[in-house]
Structures are given as C-alpha cells and as structure tokens.
Structure 1
Amino acid sequence: MTDGDDVFAISAPKVECLLAAMLVRAEDVISTDQLCGEIWRDEPPRRATATLHVYISQLRKLLKRADRGRSPIVTRFPGYVLELGENTLDAHDFQRLAQQSRAAARAGRHAETSMLCGQVLSLWRGTVLGELRGGAIVDEFATWAEETRLECVEMRNEADLALGRHRELVGPLYALVAKHPLIEAFHRQLMLALYRSDRRADALQAYHHVRSALDRELGISPCRQLHELHQAILLDSAPALPSAA
C-alpha cells in the first residue's frame, strides 16, 4: 500500500482481509456482522466483535495522516465505513472506463472502443485479491472484476476486427480460447480473424475444436452465431466485416 512517497505493508492476514473488504465497499457502511463473516467466514472466535474492534484500531492508526487529522475509517451504525475523500481507487477508474467502453461500442465508435478497453485492461494486475478470497464481499467484487475484464477483452476484439486488425488478433485469440475454451465469443472471433487472414482451413479447424470442447464438457452444440459463421466459411461467404457481438 502506498501513500505518496510512503509505502506500508500489512503483515497480519486478517487485518489485510479487513482492509480489502473496506476498500471494495468504500463509502458504504459495512456491518460488524458482515466484517466478522469476511474475516472468519463461518467460524468466528468467541470474542470476534472485540477482536474486530482491535483490527479496526490498528487500521485506523495505519491509515491516519497528520495532514488529515483523522483516519478515513469512521464508525457508523451498524458498523464502519471507509471514506475516500478526494482519493480514488483503481477499481473505480476500472468501472468508469468500462462504462465508457460500452457506450462507445453501442455507438459503433470502434477506434474509441478499442482505446478505452485498452485503458481498462491496463489497470489489470493479475488475479484479483487472490489470497484474500473466501468472504462474500471480496468474492463478489472479484467475480464482477473478472467478468468485466472478459467483457472488455471481447469488446476490444470486436472493435479491432471492425478496424481490420484481424491478422494481429490471431495470436492473442488462440491464447484466449486455450485459456477460456468454453467462451464461444472468443472462438467466433478467432474463426473470423483466421478467415479474413486467408486461413480458411484453420478457421474451420477452430470450429471443430470448439464443437468438440462443448460436447465433451457440457454435452451441447455451438451457439447459433458460431454455427452460422461455420456455414458461411464452408461456402466461402463469411462477411467481409465481423458480425456484431
């Protein structure tokens, strides 16, 4: 954690877990019961509330700045709230830029969509709160963040395909389908990028791979968009521009 030129490290895992939950829900009151559940899950100690007060006190001392006169952690019934004041979080920038990306995509502004999604993804720092997962607050946030990231990856790919960047997308899309074999949108984008790169046979092979994966893992067939694109590639009549996501 940084504050200007100062760098702080929290060595106590439960205090770190508490801070993560309060940052995720910054400006919102979190009840004492919710915080206890976040720290100890379903096995709180006998004096959980008293121990929570100790952890809150430790965080207040850590976060208190002389120029502010008080800690940003405020007691407010039925628990506590972390007040950011003029400070911001990367998560808030992530959310704001994702919303702007959606608006640009809906309006068909492909270059702007690609740029904004790139800015969203540049804020990604790997697994979200990896070792701190397990509590409801952090898990909900981590799920939202990961789904938003994948949405922005898909939107950027669509925008880049519309901008004619199909050849440079082939490699990243192969990596995406390997990592997310059941996300059909990425397979569709890969098939289209390959077809538009004069790799019709590879595009057809990509369809066979996703069809096999879906049948093996879920017992289902590819979605309508994948099926229709496959038929169009077979007939060598796939659209010159990608279909909308």
Structure 2
Amino acid sequence: MRYEILGPLRVIDGKNAKTIKAQKVEILLAALVIRSDQVVSTDQLFREIWGEKLPRSATASLYVYISQIRKLLRHPRTETSPILTRPPGYMLTLGSDGLDLHDFTRLLNEGRAHLRNGRYEPAVRSFEHALALCRGPLLADVARGPILQGFRTWLNEAQLECMESLMEARMALGHHRELVSDLYLLSTEHPLREAFHRQLMLALHHSGSRGDALLVYQKARRTLREELGVEPGRALQNIQRTILTDN
C-alpha cells in the first residue's frame, strides 16, 4: 500500500486508487498520514477537523471516522489495520507501506547533495523527480488546524526551493536561453522571491539580452519597495553590478 499526500489525498492499493469523499474523514486521515508513526492526540485531531468550533458530538464522530478509515485501510489477508489506538489518541503505522512525502524529501536531499558537489546532471534528475511527485494542493480550502496548515506551508516552501535549485543546476549546465521563459513565469508567479529574479537576470545576460536583464532588476526593485518597503538583497544587487560592469 502507498499513501500519497502531495496533492489530493489518495491511497494506492495494488492497481486501485482509493479516495475519500467525506471531507472530515479525509482531513483526519491526512493528519494521521502527515504524522505517520507518531501519536496524534484526540485534541489535535479535533482541531484539525473542526477548528475552534467543536460540536458536542465530536468524540463520538471521531470514533466513527476512525472506524471508517480502519475499514478503508484494512489489509484483506490479515484483517489488520495500520490505525492504532495509542493514548492520548491514534497513530498510523507505515510499516512497509510507501509514502510519497518520504520519496520527495529523499529526492530533495539527494538533489541538494549533488548540487553542492557540482554533480549537476544527477541534481537535475533528482529535483525533477521530486517535483513530479507534487500533484496539486492538499485540502487547500479546508485546512483548519496546525498540522495541515503547517504541512502546506512547509510543502510550498520545499517546492519553491526545489524549483530554484533545479533552475540553478540547469544554468550550471549552460541551458540559459532555454530557461528564460520558465524563469519569466516563475518570477511573475512569485514576485517577492528574489532568487527567481536573480536567475532570470543571469539567464538573460548569458543569452545576450543585457538590457532585458537590467529591466528585470528595476521591476523587481520596484515590486519589493512597493510591497515590502525594502531594497533588493545583496545577491540581486551584485548581479546587477556584474551586468553593468561586464563589457
């Protein structure tokens, strides 16, 4: 069995992909998967499912939801479930089951190590494989508690780091011109992310578009001043000076 949490939650059992239509049950399983092999207290689960507005039937409803998840995940041959009761709450045990989150973090760490050591082609492969696991937002509109909200924040940041590092590795391989359109898109989607502006300036400069590279700096500087009241960081300023003095 394999759990996939880097997008809409699903459980892969052989050739079958199981999804949960009941929103509260989906939130409960998502919280247990994110904290797999750790005990999640009933109070934490209450907050994930209902936020601050706890109904009187919360305890009874949680018991029903746990029963539904146990039935969904029960192994046909052994009749056992990976959902265990462990005071003060419940725990999902992975055992030999897979989890896409673990694959993502492994690939990200491999990519980081390759990039640090100048192994750019394997770094590109690691980052590309990591990003391919990300299928979309997880319960984007209904995450009420700190487990799901914190995970979503972490995943967004990890994906951006992965994308930045992928661009870095590709540029180190000399693919500047091919990256210009992607970096324009990324810098537009994430206007406060200075790394994408810096990478776009480098890609344009190495593609012979010095003027366009300097225009990117001016636009980034204007955005940062208007949105945050700050000047560009040292890395972005250094790239601008390098381009200005490069004859």
With normalisation by structure 2, the TM-score equals 0.92
Q: Which runs of 4+ in 1 moved over 4 A?
A: none
Instruction: List per-residue Cα deviations over 1:28-82 (Å, max 9, x = no partner).
Output: 1101111111101101111312221111111111111211321110111111111
Give the structure 2 partner of residue 27 of structure 1: 37
Give the structure 1 partner of residue 157 of structure 2: 147
Q: CA distance change for structure 1 residues 97 and 7 in 2, over 3 Å: closer, same or farther?
A: closer
Q: Is the 8 A contact 2:123 2:166 kept in 1?
A: yes
- How far apart in 2 are the matches of 1:186 and 1:216? 18
Match of 1:82 among 80, 92, 95: 92
Match of 1:45 among 45, 50, 55: 55
Shift of 1:124: 1.1
Instruction: List per-residue Cα deviations over 1:74-114 (Å, max 9, x = no partner).
Output: 11111111112211111110011111111112222211211
Give the structure 2 partner of residue 117 of structure 1: 127
Give the structure 2 partner of residue 13 of structure 1: 23
- How far apart in 2 are the matches of 1:155 and 1:11? 36
Greater RCO (Cα-Cα under 8 Å, separation 6 or more): 2
- How far apart in 2 are the matches of 1:89 and 1:161? 31
Q: Which amino acid aligns with 1:195?
A: H
- How far apart in 2 are the matches of 1:156 and 1:9? 31
Instruction: List per-residue Cα deviations over 1:116-150 (Å, max 9, x = no partner).
Output: 11111111112233244222111111111111111
- Identity over aligned pairs, percent: 50
Query: Runs of 5+ in structure 2 lacking a partner?
Result: 1-9
Instruction: Indicate yes or no: 2:190 matched with 1:180.
Output: yes
SS at match of 2:85: strand
Give the structure 1 partner of residue 221 of structure 2: 211
Instruction: Indicate yes or no: 2:67 matched with 1:73.
Output: no
- How far apart in 2 are the matches of 1:107 and 1:6? 40
Q: Which amino acid aligns with 2:206?
A: R
- How far apart in 2 are the matches of 1:183 and 1:52? 41
- How far apart in 1 are the matches of 2:175 and 2:97? 38
SS at match of 1:10: coil
- How far apart in 2 are the matches of 1:126 and 1:72? 26
Match of 1:93 among 103, 117, 122: 103
Q: Is the 8 A contact 2:120 2:169 kept in 1?
A: yes
Q: CA distance change for structure 1 residues 170 and 219 in 2, over 3 Å: closer, same or farther?
A: same
Shift of 1:200: 0.5
Q: Is the 8 A contact 2:48 2:143 kept in 1?
A: no
Q: Which amino acid aligns with 1:151?
A: E
Match of 1:222 among 222, 227, 232: 232
Aligned length: 237
Q: Which amino acid aligns with 2:102?
A: H
Give the structure 1 partner of residue 118 of structure 2: 108
Instruction: List per-residue Cα deviations over 1:195-224 (Å, max 9, x = no partner).
Output: 000000100111111011011111111111
Q: CA distance change for structure 1 residues 117 and 9 in 2, over 3 Å: closer, same or farther?
A: closer
Query: Runs of 5+ in structure 1 lacking a partner?
Result: 238-245
- How far apart in 2 are the matches of 1:33 and 1:235? 60
> What's the Cα RMSD here?
1.3
